[in-house]
Amino acid sequence: MEEKRSTFSGKLGFVLAAAGSAVGLGNIWRFPYLAAKYGGGIFLLVYLILVVTFGYALMITETAIGRKTGLSPIGAFRKLSKKFTFVGVIAAFVAFLILPYYSVIGGWVLKYLTMYITGGHAAVADGAFFGNYISKPVEPIVWHSIFLLATFIVVVRGIKGGIEKASRIMMPVLVVLAIIIAAYSVTRPGAMEGIKFYLLPNFADFSSQTVLAALGQMFYSMSLAMGIMITYGSYLRKEDDLEQCVSRIEIFDTGIAILAGLMVIPAVFAFSGGKADAVNAGPGLMFQTIPKVFEAMGLSTVIGVLFFALVLFAALTSSISLMEAVVSVICDQWKVSRTKSCVIALILAVVLGIPSSLGFGVWSKISITTASGASMSILDMMDFITNSVLMPITALITSIVVGYVIKPAVISEEVRLSSPFKREWLFLVMTKYIAPICIVAILVSSVLNAFGLITL
């Protein structure tokens, strides 16, 4: 007899854990700088449309595949169609590649939080702090390992007692912190210009790049195409309303992304170099611009501690899901105990993260210069391979397998086990036609862009 698979205790547990995976550095670090770069309100609008169409269809597909098969991605695809086992392998591999470098960034967040707690706000606000810190050979690796250890401690306790419990505590705190900080930021004098830029779409700023950037961000933010929603779906009970769960996860994820934009963009408009600063900051927005903004606002210790605690919680619940995806594959494939799989995943992630961390310092010579002249560090390369190449490939093949091989009816039946499938038409149109075309567009354009054949 096979051991009975553990499950979440119910809908709320599942929604909080899956939302915990979705809400992460992608929402708080990546979303605001992308929104600022790609036109503010117009980016937000395009993003919202993509979430309720494309994101919805893919998330339904993945959770239903997980619940139907009751297996982690490799086993799940094998069960659906032997020929397509490799899609599960790629999906699991993506999680395995993301976890190490995600934890390097998680380690930076931990360092920032401790700096704020110990009164180091002025040091952090110095423009050179970030670059100096990440290029150190040892300290960032120590924080990276501590971050992974915290992740391990939750995952090793299992689904209900570890992941669900941690999410039940961290997610509500995260929402409260997000609301407090956003409210503080939008009520600062001078914030109105930023709020307008961020919320009111200006159609003149629309371009195909806006759509591509929003699409890539949507995959990443909703933890799609990396086996996570399949894994979490496999722990969802048959009686829990799958469609409603997916809607709630989307509302959670998008709500936090919108709030993150409200925390960051108006504050930069009011306290730093205005629009130009927000638009040009790029990935440094959270680690370089924001500490300066907090310093200028006053109250920087309090707001810095709250903000980086929020980011830490968001990052932890996401890394927990990444480790869970890796652990579930190790358990299912090699029939190893959960504790052993967790130890293996921990050691691998610590070791594999080291090059990404050293890539900013002693190994900085290992980099690729893209045709636009930008230099990609080891961490950027990992990010590019996973987000811009492997994830679109996984999403593309998943849509094709569901649309044309196993047929969408299989997914619809699974959804209907727990409720009527209200938006089935949307799922069908997206999976069979629109998703494959759009994904090919992201894949081709992001690769051409990296090799300098087009400029995004």
Helix (H, G, I), strand (E, B) or coil at 369: strand
21 contacts ligand PFF (rule: CB under 6 A): yes
Q: Return the closest-CA partner of residue 385 out of 185, 97, 182, 151.
A: 97
323 contacts ligand PFF (rule: CB under 6 A): no
Between 25 and 36, CB nearer to ligand PFF: 25
Between 184 and 220, CB nearer to ligand PFF: 220
Site mask for ligand PFF (CB under 6 A), range 325-344, x = bound:
--------------------
Between 260 and 350, CB nearer to ligand PFF: 260
Between 125 and 257, CB nearer to ligand PFF: 257
Calpha distance 219→456 (Å, rounded): 18
Helix (H, G, I), strand (E, B) or coil at 421: coil
Quote the least distance from Cβ 224 to ligand PFF, whole Å: 9
Quote the least distance from Cβ 225 to ligand PFF, whole Å: 9
The residue within the footprint of ligand PFF, chosen from 15, 25, 191, 218 (CB under 6 A), is: 25
- 8 A C-beta contact, residue 32 and residue 285: yes
Between 45 and 257, CB nearer to ligand PFF: 257
Calpha distance 22→250 (Å, rounded): 9
Region label for 48, one of left (φ > 0), alpha (ψ between -120 and 50) or beta (otherwise) = alpha
Calpha distance 214→368 (Å, rounded): 25
Calpha distance 323→329 (Å, rounded): 10
259 contacts ligand PFF (rule: CB under 6 A): no
Quote the least distance from Cβ 24 to ligand PFF, whole Å: 2
- 8 A C-beta contact, residue 403 and residue 226: no
Q: Return the closest-CA partner of residue 330 out of 401, 220, 231.
A: 231
Rule CB under 6 A: which of 134-173 touch ligand PFF? none
Quote the least distance from Cβ 50 to ligand PFF, whole Å: 14
Cβ contacts of 21 within 8 Å, gap of 6 or more? 223, 228, 229, 232, 317, 318, 320, 321, 322
Q: Return the closest-CA partner of residue 55 out of 444, 431, 407.
A: 431
Cβ contacts of 209 within 8 Å, gap of 6 or more? 38, 456
* 376 beta partners: 368
Structure token pair of residue 219: 């995959």
224 contacts ligand PFF (rule: CB under 6 A): no
Quote the least distance from Cβ 330 to ligand PFF, whole Å: 16
The residue within the footprint of ligand PFF, chosen from 167, 321, 418, 445 (CB under 6 A), is: 321
288 contacts ligand PFF (rule: CB under 6 A): no
How open is the CA angle 295-257-436, to the nearest 5 degrees? 140
Between 69 and 223, CB nearer to ligand PFF: 223
Quote the least distance from Cβ 72 to ligand PFF, whole Å: 13
Name the one range near ligand PFF by CB under 6 A: 110-118, 123-131, 231-239, 315-323: 315-323
Between 125 and 390, CB nearer to ligand PFF: 390
What amino acid is encoded at 253 in this protein?
D
32 contacts ligand PFF (rule: CB under 6 A): no
Quote the least distance from Cβ 143 to ligand PFF, whole Å: 18
- 8 A C-beta contact, residue 433 and residue 112: no
Between 25 and 396, CB nearer to ligand PFF: 25
For 166, counting Cβ atoms within 10 Å of its Cβ (0-12 exposed, 13-18 middle, 19+ buried), the class is buried
Q: How many chain residues interact with ligand PFF (CB under 6 A)?
A: 16
221 contacts ligand PFF (rule: CB under 6 A): yes
Structure token pair of residue 181: 């900080």
95 contacts ligand PFF (rule: CB under 6 A): yes
Site mask for ligand PFF (CB under 6 A), range 40-79, x = bound:
----------------------------------------
Between 24 and 266, CB nearer to ligand PFF: 24
The residue within the footprint of ligand PFF, chosen from 26, 140, 261, 436 (CB under 6 A), is: 26
Helix (H, G, I), strand (E, B) or coil at 122: helix
312 contacts ligand PFF (rule: CB under 6 A): no
Structure token pair of residue 444: 């081709």
249 contacts ligand PFF (rule: CB under 6 A): no
Q: Which residues bind ligand PFF (CB under 6 A)?
A: 21-22, 24-27, 95, 98, 220-221, 223, 226, 228, 318, 321-322
